[in-house]
A and B are shown apart, each in its own frame.
Chain A
Amino acid sequence: MKLSVKDVMRCVGCQSCMFACSRRSGNAGLSNTCIGIKSTGGISRGFSVIVCRSCENPPCAAVCPTGALVAKEGGGVRLNSAKCIGCGLCKDACIIEAVFWNEEQNKPVICVQCGYCVDYCPYEVLELKKDVKGVTNDSE
């Protein structure tokens, strides 16, 4: 399953998805969120919804110097936190800024495509799609 942005124009910027993502860890706040909602230059112009596209050849894993980020079969990456030295190269390598950062732990937060956020989007901006091999999803 892959997380996908169904219709970015419906996003109201409430960030309920960001809080949901962080809440998976059990705590409140935003430190562990790996979804990002930001305006596209003032909120009247609408929002960008940034989710991991689970690339098949993920640039973030390609630059990881310690093997902490490993490409998964079928797309996306898995983080082995014990190997991560917090260098931030993965964050810089993702040009859509979908590698998020836990400032308190100085480690990346990587989307595991669980879809928990989808249930907290009241405007149906997000969806969890079945993988179709060779077809990339259309998230922004």
Chain B
Amino acid sequence: MIANDSLSKVLYIDLTRKKFEIKDRSDLFEKYLGGTGVATQLLLEECPEGIDPFHPDAPIIFAVGPLTGVFPLASKTCAMFKSPHTGDLGESHAGGRSAIAIRMAGYGAIVIKGASEMPLYLSIHGGKVIFKNATTIWGMKDGSIPARVMRQNEKGEGLRAIFRIGTAGENLITYSNVTTETYRHFGRLGLGAVFGSKKLKGMVILGKKAIEVNDKKGYRNLYDKIYKAATESPVMKKYHDVGTAINIKALNFIKALPVKNLQFSSSDSLEPLTGEAIAEKHLARRVACAHCPVACIHLAFLREPYDDDPYFYKTSPVCYDFELIYSLGTMVGINDPTNMLKLIDIVEQVGVDAMSMGVILAWMTEMYERKMITLDDLDGVEIKWGDSDAYIELVKKIVKPSTDFIKACSRGVDYASGQYGGHEFAMQFGKNEMAGYHTGPSGYLGFLLGARHSHLDNGGYSIDQKDLVKIDLTPQQVVDKLFEEEGIRQILSSVAVCFFARGIYDLKMVSDAIKLLGFDLSENQLTEIGKQIHLNKYKFKMREGFLFEKLNIPERIYETKDPTGKITKKFISEGIDYAKSMIN
């Protein structure tokens, strides 16, 4: 890397002692580029083996990459931590201004350890960290208000990122998230709860640095090539226009869309929830992450009348995409977009992962329908499919649990079903609640074997749709493809570009781009680094007790029709056995 690139600077923050220091870690960045690659190493270094994820010594790590602030769509920050939700690798990615702000503030990574005795937020700029008392904004029920307070108290409009948790994170709900720029999230696996355990309410970071490149003309030329692809290429069109919500119609058509806790894989009454229909009736504005011309963030305006006062309305901007329409729409049987937007709004306010919450609400509904729990267990909230008012009440109760059953639900569907039964329809994989893809066995093997049990680890659903619907592949062939893809994605999230840009940033493009930042690595070398990062993640998982043998698979996936017709116990177990032989 270029000698004076501030990417190699790692900011270490100690919340217990209210101290910070900056160290040069070019050793890590030279070897693992940045983002996921460097964050994994920092996690292995900083996280004591077997530690409680809420222990003060458990670290929170943020990392950006060499391409951040240099090329378009390099707009993601990688967060790493020990997950309080699964007990192993915690990793989530978010955009907004987070990545640009960290890089422009002069850091490649941030490590936060310790715990404060009082609520704090951090103000990071000008080479300093200021520890600010956040007592007054702790416990506010709508998470957007503390963000507004930080916005009003801090400088750097247009250049800063504002991270914050909601009441879910404060109350250590294991699937609470960290929100940045109101609509982007470090969503999965409970980073918000780790913030909460440290009494860390939020963080404001900003800067305005220059980043040197070693060939100014070459830089402009390559920039123009990538920018053109980002703004004109058909590979970005889907994110740009209707957005990922376009998948609702497509997956419903091929019978791959989980409906009512995956009792069904399609529905005849979903037309109002399609991306096209929501765009036509509710889309109000499209916005972008910093340094991304695509603008894939879709905001609807929700207009709600007050019952007690005519001509008096509450109007709230609500962000939606495919995953939210699935989890807080189809999965819980809501077909009315206004009701779905209301449910999304409360989930945003309390600050929990939308996918986990939707899957848990769906499981609770089925448990009640099957009379496996009582109305008392639900603290008097009668639930049935599609009842958004009941779901809104339950979200509020889950964040401040009032019964043992609801408390169990605040720890995820794997834990709750372990206590109350119903595991066969508890839709989790590796203890992480499923994403909206009932596409076939590759999708499920992808969830099970991905290092963070996320659909984005390896895009297994894509193998189902491109290959398995047409041809036969063995489980071993599927796993080989999953591992190959996960290796490539380690490079993307290390340099660190958005996965939506994977059609633009192939390894050749990455190799050319990082060369301008002083990294001379061929496509083959990048492939090897990607494989190594993937294995390093598994090293952490194994160290923290992950076992392939302990993967619990809900029977429901074998019962509900899918597009391939190939989801069998034999296929899945052979895939897992083969993966185990590859990793060990």
Which of B71, B182, B289 has a CB less than 8 Å from the CB of A14? B289
Q: Are A37 and B158 in contact (CB under 8 A)?
A: yes
B48 part of interface (Cβ distance < 8 Å): no
Q: Are A19 and B210 in contact (CB under 8 A)?
A: no
**Minimum CB–CB distance for B10 against chain A, Å:** 19
Interface size class of A (residues with CB under 8 A): 20 to 34
- A28 CA to B227 CA in the complex, in Å? 14
Which of A25, A26, A31, A44 has a CB less than 8 Å from the CB of B182? A44
Q: Among B12-20, B215-223, B261-269, B532-540, which stretch is in contact with chain A?
A: B215-223
- A120 CA to B227 CA in the complex, in Å? 8
Q: Are B287 and A42 in contact (CB under 8 A)?
A: no
Residues of B within 8 A of A103 (CB): 208
Q: Are B158 and A28 in contact (CB under 8 A)?
A: no
B522 part of interface (Cβ distance < 8 Å): no
B213 part of interface (Cβ distance < 8 Å): yes
- A127 CA to B102 CA in the complex, in Å? 31
- A13 CA to B157 CA in the complex, in Å? 12
Given A29-B211, A31-B210, A32-B210, A16:B227 Cβ within 8 A = yes
- A17 CA to B294 CA in the complex, in Å? 13
Residues of B within 8 A of A27 (CB): 210-213, 216
Question: What is the 8 Å Cβ interface bit string for chain B, positions 196-239, against chain A (1 contact, 0 not)?
Answer: 00000000000011111100100110010001000100000000
A22 part of interface (Cβ distance < 8 Å): yes
Q: Are B290 and A14 in contact (CB under 8 A)?
A: yes
Q: What residue of chain A has the Cβ atom nearest to residue B215's Cβ?
A: A26
Q: Are B212 and A16 in contact (CB under 8 A)?
A: no
Q: Which of A79-128 contact B (CB under 8 A)?
A: 103-104, 120, 122-123
B563 part of interface (Cβ distance < 8 Å): no
- A47 CA to B158 CA in the complex, in Å? 9
Residues of B within 8 A of A123 (CB): 295
Q: What residue of chain B has the Cβ atom nearest to residue A19's Cβ?
A: B291
A6 part of interface (Cβ distance < 8 Å): no
- A-B pair count, CB < 8 Å, reads 100
- A120 CA to B216 CA in the complex, in Å? 18
Which of A12, A28, A39 has a CB less than 8 Å from the CB of B210? A28
Q: Are A28 and B292 in contact (CB under 8 A)?
A: no
**Minimum CB–CB distance for B384 against chain A, Å:** 32
Residues of B within 8 A of A41 (CB): 151
Residues of A within 8 A of B317 (CB): 44
Q: Are B293 and A28 in contact (CB under 8 A)?
A: no
Residues of B within 8 A of A12 (CB): 286-288, 293, 295
- A99 CA to B287 CA in the complex, in Å? 26
A139 part of interface (Cβ distance < 8 Å): no
- A37 CA to B293 CA in the complex, in Å? 13
Q: What residue of chain A has the Cβ atom nearest to residue B183's Cβ?
A: A43
| Interface residues in B, total, Cβ within 8 A | 41
Which of B157, B220, B231 has a CB less than 8 Å from the CB of A23? B220
B299 part of interface (Cβ distance < 8 Å): yes
- A92 CA to B294 CA in the complex, in Å? 34
Residues of B within 8 A of A39 (CB): 157-158
Q: Are B210 and A38 in contact (CB under 8 A)?
A: no
Q: Are A30 and B288 in contact (CB under 8 A)?
A: no
B285 part of interface (Cβ distance < 8 Å): yes
Given A43-B181, A120-B227, A14:B158 Cβ within 8 A = no
**Minimum CB–CB distance for A12 against chain B, Å:** 4
Residues of A within 8 A of B219 (CB): 23, 26, 28
Q: Which of A11-60 contact B (CB under 8 A)?
A: 12-16, 19, 22-23, 25-33, 36-39, 41-44, 46
Q: Which of B464-518 contact A (CB under 8 A)?
A: none
B159 part of interface (Cβ distance < 8 Å): yes
Residues of A within 8 A of B104 (CB): 29-30
Q: Are B210 and A104 in contact (CB under 8 A)?
A: yes
B148 part of interface (Cβ distance < 8 Å): yes
Residues of B within 8 A of A33 (CB): 208
Residues of B within 8 A of A31 (CB): 208-210
B460 part of interface (Cβ distance < 8 Å): no
B72 part of interface (Cβ distance < 8 Å): yes
Which of A15, A28, A36 has a CB less than 8 Å from the CB of B290? A15
- A16 CA to B69 CA in the complex, in Å? 10
Given A38-B157, A122-B293, A16:B210 Cβ within 8 A = no
**Minimum CB–CB distance for A19 against chain B, Å:** 6
B70 part of interface (Cβ distance < 8 Å): yes
**Minimum CB–CB distance for A20 against chain B, Å:** 9
Q: Are A30 and B159 in contact (CB under 8 A)?
A: yes
Q: Are B288 and A13 in contact (CB under 8 A)?
A: yes
- A126 CA to B289 CA in the complex, in Å? 19
Q: Are A36 and B223 in contact (CB under 8 A)?
A: no
**Minimum CB–CB distance for B218 against chain A, Å:** 11
Q: Are B291 and A15 in contact (CB under 8 A)?
A: yes
- A120 CA to B286 CA in the complex, in Å? 18
**Minimum CB–CB distance for A42 against chain B, Å:** 6
Selected A-B contacts with CB under 8 Å, 22 pairs: A12-B293, A12-B295, A13-B287, A13-B290, A14-B288, A14-B295, A15-B288, A16-B291, A16-B293, A19-B69, A23-B223, A27-B211, A27-B212, A28-B213, A29-B103, A30-B159, A30-B208, A38-B158, A42-B144, A43-B181, A104-B209, A120-B227
**Interface set of B (CB-CB < 8 Å, partner A):** 69-72, 100, 103-104, 144, 148, 151, 157-159, 181-183, 208-213, 216, 219-220, 223, 227, 231, 285-295, 299, 317
What are the 9 A-B residue pairs with the smallest beta carbon separation, nearest first? A38-B158, A44-B317, A14-B288, A26-B216, A31-B210, A12-B295, A28-B70, A28-B211, A29-B211
